[in-house]
Structure 1
């Protein structure tokens, strides 16, 4: 079996493949707090916004997108400019094959090169495999938003985890856009 795998920057042409991975999470889980499917054009617009500043990576095998990961703005206020929030989603048929780890390894290297100091992950508190993945990459638990999301007939806690990329011992320079670094 040919297993030619590749991690690359997503393009807007990948929106349909990426959304096909994401939609079952919307419909069948509380992993995302999104309720309803969105048109691919809306999803593509979200990607376009993210890709102006941050990396959005896809993992391909034999030309098929099996997973994706990206970072995005954490909060709007200027003091948060050195923080970002990460997400990773893998096609349900390809879980536990190291795809999320491969994507995260590259993703965190890129945002560190950009000059981000802290990466946050917001995880539905019951999602043990996601918690384990983030701990593997050095994330620590910093808090819980209790009963903050209502989906699938119940209230869910949201675990906040953080990964520090640099020491906080100096005044930072503004992070570079993803297009200003080599990847």
Structure 2
């Protein structure tokens, strides 16, 4: 049984964050980016989470008990939902787990951490935008009591040229 820890992302995590994100881009169905992104682009994304004590970027590390090897298996964040100040009570959560670690409970652990962090920071709502055909993430949203409040049909193209529906989810935190 492997153990995990969730901790604030540090500069040395940028390569893992970029690699995990790009794996999701290539796999499809988790990002609207059509091509892998550069480390510089991911750095700009990390740095956009300001102030960091309100909008954290975190990583989830897995430790193999047999070897003691620590591997960054995913990352997540709380982001500004909208630039207008009236929306400051709403945060958007996002998370990415490396494919080798899917279906091991790490996504569930990350979403729980992000929801707890959102509550601790005084947010009133958490929102997520998910490909409507991403069954794993949809199941996770339902598990945590999110409600789908919108669907943009055929809104996002994928690398193969197909159009995908995007679903919008929200959970009241108070």
Per the normalisation by structure 2, the TM-score is: 0.89
Give the superposition deviation at 1:4.
4.3
Q: How many residues align?
A: 165
Range 35-44 or range 115-124, more displaced:
35-44
CA distance in 2, matches of 1:41, 1:116: 29
CA distance in 2, matches of 1:4, 1:30: 27
Preserved CA contact (<8 Å) 2:148 2:167 = yes
Q: Which residue in the other structure is 1:123 paired with? A: 130
CA distance in 1, matches of 2:21, 2:136: 17
Preserved CA contact (<8 Å) 1:12 1:47 = no
Match of 2:170 among 134, 142, 162: 162
Counterpart secondary structure, 1:50? coil
Give the superposition deviation at 1:28.
2.6
Preserved CA contact (<8 Å) 2:29 2:133 = no
Give the superposition deviation at 1:105.
1.2
Give the superposition deviation at 1:76.
1.1
Q: Tell me if 1:76 matches 2:83.
A: yes
Give the superposition deviation at 1:70.
1.0
CA distance in 2, matches of 1:30, 1:97: 19
Preserved CA contact (<8 Å) 2:18 2:38 = no
Structure 1's consecutive aligned runs of 4 or more residues displaced over 4 angstroms after TM superposition are: none
Give the superposition deviation at 1:165.
0.3
Q: Tell me if 1:26 matches 2:33.
A: no
Aligned CA-pair RMSD: 1.4
Trace 1:41-56 onto structure 2 (pairs within 5 A). Answer: 41-50=40-49, 52=52, 53-56=54-57
CA distance in 2, matches of 1:18, 1:38: 11
Q: Which residue in the other structure is 1:61 paired with? A: 62
List runs of 5+ in structure 1 lacking aligned partners. 167-183
Counterpart secondary structure, 1:156? strand
